[in-house]
Structure 1
């Protein structure tokens, strides 16, 4: 039995090896632990190339959910539930449309879309442009609808939500708690929808569980390193890493040749 499980797990990584996704997951965990965001955006373009867009989503979400469970208890007290709650509900309602797109759109286009979204997000965040409108329930629901479609199609639903939640003058701890809570509230429904539409297989979930310990270790270390006074440093490092991951996805055909 154990030999069969080991053989099955080895087959999941046979085409790519284990060390590349392992390193990516460890770094993603560090980013998630100290910044509260960035892990899915780092893993998505690399895993889409390694495993394919559909398997990538299930693998990323399986890993992300476990990390959310780890980080949520210490963050929930700082969350602004008035904004995050209604937005998360709308995200879940919009996910079926994203799942339909995932099943219908060319897979190569999805890889490019994921990578392009990440690069644009990084450039916007690095430029200092921020959402300046009112953070109301209505505005949050509009952002949530867009994020839900993006999340189910690409696993990267964070950019519009991050730009919205990072607006205003809230302290770093509040920003971090809002982001962690948002992911926690939306990842369970996303996995359910993926299985319901037949887009997630057992193999992608197993792959995520095998990589999970590295993510948890990275998130734990990142949480220990978190210091609100160093928010600018954290964000700069996270954005630089994300830009590299997005550029890899966009230029992968040239890199692999």
Structure 2
């Protein structure tokens, strides 16, 4: 497991102190005389704690999320810009209200930062403090990005069917690494379990997988050079790989995507 640094431990402690102090100040404000002023308390202690956290994280927090979002989310700048370009015109990011939404770049960066953390680090409070946004805004932005990514239009844009050249390259690799008889097995599938932070409020037990975690079943279909040509998401972790696989494109459109005699590499969890 990754080692927790001293800086991370100090930051965690300061965050706990910040939230406790914020609650205490709120309760104190409810019982105090609103006309009373303390000249020695111009700045709330919670603000001082927050400034200390920011100072501690100065070398890690990016000055602008658009230019440096890759520090917090694994995509490279080129990949990040490509994701934004394919999401930008989704209706979820546009409305007719007077208050305009945040730029799509910012929304995607916040969502990726949210997805890239786990446990307490993924709480909307901590993400909100990192991004300088309201806690409700973090939740809303994450939901928008998820809705756009799960849109079938986005899937069709980013998942292109492999052409003849890509297939031939994959077949040549398979033949070189195995034998001529197996060259038509030019793509492969496998499933992975993505753990959830907690039990889902809807049909909670169905998300409980064989490894005693609550998770999502994700199916990935790729060529030997790791080019992803299809994916399946959304099914609970208790779903068997053979069943989840049937929700992807190849089983549904086999005649279109696979030529005569072509097949898919898979482990024993998948039916023939």
TM class, shorter-chain normalised?
Answer: under 0.3
Question: Which protein has the larger Cα radius of gyration, Structure 1 or Structure 2?
Answer: 2
TM-score (norm 1): 0.24
Larger RCO, structure (CA 8 Å, separation 6 or more): 1
Decide which structure has greater helix share. Answer: 1
TM-score (norm 2): 0.23
